[in-house]
């Protein structure tokens, strides 16, 4: 958490650069190098997605090398959406932190709090799925629970309670940018926590509406992710800078305390 806060302040950025490498291994390695070098000045964090590495023969080595190549002061969130019983989750945590070297992970909480706990190591940060950016035909998260509220409300509440309980680590939430009203709802339930927000760019999320709905009063508390929007750009650095500036313009207007 401290690493994230320091980075956010140092580069004045809420931009999370997603690393979802496509192309053959040689192309992917080359592009990873370029994207990291060109976007690092604007990045509050990097988010490699595990699937884009595991789909390769030597994907774990590529992922580990990628994380090692990221400047040490920039937090790395391994997007694995891990979710299994505790002793299995412990193995995933060893993979993410001890082998890959990530600072944070994404976790799927729908099996319960014990799936999150093994990732909550001192100094590490966990982003627990609360309201994802996809729009499924048949989805679970909007379903009402018998005790009131939706499953997504339950996930947000669980993340807040766990953040209060697990004082040595930090629990944030994943909230998609494709439904700003949902961002506002989760923010109302979790006023202080950090949200990792995918869905801007290729998925069509509305940046301004998302910032309006999710920024805290201090103009912070969101990490806005862009993966394909930066990866596929001719000039990755320019794409990252443009998005960082758009975010900051909005912060300056809506949260004068930030500016
Ligand atoms: O709700 C979620 C959770 C995670 N993701 C991941 O974020 C990136 C988004 O990529 P874009 O190219 O910027 O659309 C990708 O790794 C997803 O797996 C998400 O999109 N939504």
What is the Å distance from ligand 1's center to 206 Cα? 15
The CATH code of the domain at 2-258 is 3.20.20.70
Q: Where are the domains of the chain?
A: 2-258
Q: Which residues contact 113 (CB under 8 A, 6 or more apart)?
A: 158, 162
What is the Å distance from ligand 1's center to 127 Cα? 13
Q: In this predicted structure, what is the pLDDT of residue 258?
A: 63
Of 34, 22, 75, 15, nearest in space to 236 by CA = 34
| Residue 256 predicted with pLDDT over 90 | no
Token representation of residue 123: 């100094």
CA 165 to chain centre: 21
| β-strands 170-175, 195-197 pairing | parallel
Q: In this predicted structure, what is the pLDDT of residue 16?
A: 98
Cα–Cα distance, 157 to 22 (Å, whole number): 36
Task: Return the axis-axis angle of helices 59-69 and 25-39, rounded to nearest 10°.
Answer: 20
Q: Burial of 29 by CB count in 10 Å (0-12 exposed, 13-18 middle, 19+ buried)? A: middle
Element (H, E) at 127: strand 125-131
Of 62, 14, 64, nearest in space to 196 by CA = 14
pLDDT in tens, 174-205: 999 999 999 999 999 999 999 999 999 999 99
Buried b (16+ CB within 10 A) or exposed e, 144-163: eeeeeebbbbbbbebbbebb
What is the Å distance from ligand 1's center to 134 Cα? 8
259 vs 55, which has greater pLDDT? 55
Cα–Cα distance, 75 to 3 (Å, whole number): 7
| Residue 131 predicted with pLDDT over 60 | yes
Of 227, 233, 243, the one to substitute when testing ligand 1's pocket (max ligand atoms within 8 A of C-beta) is: 227
Q: Residue 148 — very low, low, confident or very high, per pLDDT cuts 50/70/90?
A: confident
Q: Mean pLDDT across the stretch 45-60? A: 98
pLDDT in tens, 72-81: 999 999 999 9
ipTM: 0.99
Three-state secondary-structure class, residue 251 = helix
Residue 225 CA, closest ligand 1 atom number: 13
Q: Mean pLDDT of all residues in the chain? A: 96
124 is catalytic: no
């Amino acid at each position: 958490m401290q690493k994230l806060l320091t980075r956010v302040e140092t580069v004045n950025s809420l931009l999370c650069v997603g690393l979802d490498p496509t192309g053959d291994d040689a192309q992917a390695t080359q592009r990873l190098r370029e994207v990291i070098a060109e976007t690092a000045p604007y990045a509050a964090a990097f988010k490699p997605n595990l699937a884009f590495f595991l789909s390769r023969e030597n994907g774990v080595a590529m992922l580990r090398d990628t994380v090692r190549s990221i400047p040490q002061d920039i937090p790395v969130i391994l997007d694995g959406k891990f979710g299994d019983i505790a002793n299995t989750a412990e193995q995933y945590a060893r993979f993410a932190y001890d082998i890959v070297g990530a600072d944070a992970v994404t976790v799927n909480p729908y099996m319960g709090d014990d799936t999150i706990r093994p990732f909550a190591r001192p100094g590490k940060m966990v982003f627990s799925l609360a309201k994802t950016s996809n729009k499924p035909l048949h989805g679970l998260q909007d379903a009402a629970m018998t005790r009131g509220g939706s499953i997504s409300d339950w996930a947000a509440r669980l993340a807040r309670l766990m953040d209060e309980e697990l004082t040595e680590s930090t629990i944030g939430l994943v909230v998609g940018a494709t439904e700003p009203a949902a961002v506002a709802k989760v923010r109302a339930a979790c006023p202080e926590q950090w949200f990792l927000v995918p869905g801007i760019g290729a998925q069509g999320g509305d940046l301004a509406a998302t910032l309006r709905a999710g920024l805290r009063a201090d103009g912070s508390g969101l990490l806005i992710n862009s993966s394909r929007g930066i990866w596929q750009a001719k000039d990755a650095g320019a794409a990252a800078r443009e998005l960082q500036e758009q975010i900051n313009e909005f912060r300056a207007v809506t949260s004068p305390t930030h500016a």
